Amino acid sequence: MDVLKTRQGRVTGIEVICNDTVVYVDGYNLDAGSVDLTGIQIGDVVEVRYIKNKYGEVLESILVLP
């Protein structure tokens, strides 16, 4: 069963691992999936929505907070 979750925090890293992009929010890693990360930078404070399922956690959306 997929569960939608929300998290706020600072982007602490963005990296590509085996053609998958991973975003780290306060050290917590999320698979970026097909979400466009254009304009997202390390240090930005963001709110992320992600799906948690038996395969892991996949980003659904990311919003830079003021």
What's the number of domains the chain is made of? 1
Q: List pLDDT tens digits, range 3-57.
A: 899 999 999 999 998 888 999 999 999 999 889 999 999 999 999 999 998 888 9
| SS3 at position 26 | coil
CA distance 24 to 5: 15
Query: pTM (2 decimals)?
Result: 0.87
- Domain of 38, in residue numbers: 3-64
HSE of 46, CA atoms in CB hemisphere, 13 A: 26
CATH number, domain of 14, equals 2.40.50.140
Q: List pLDDT tens digits, range 40-54.
A: 999 999 999 999 988
Q: Do 26 and 12 form a contact (C-beta atoms < 8 A)?
A: yes
Provide the greatest CA pair distance for the chain: 33
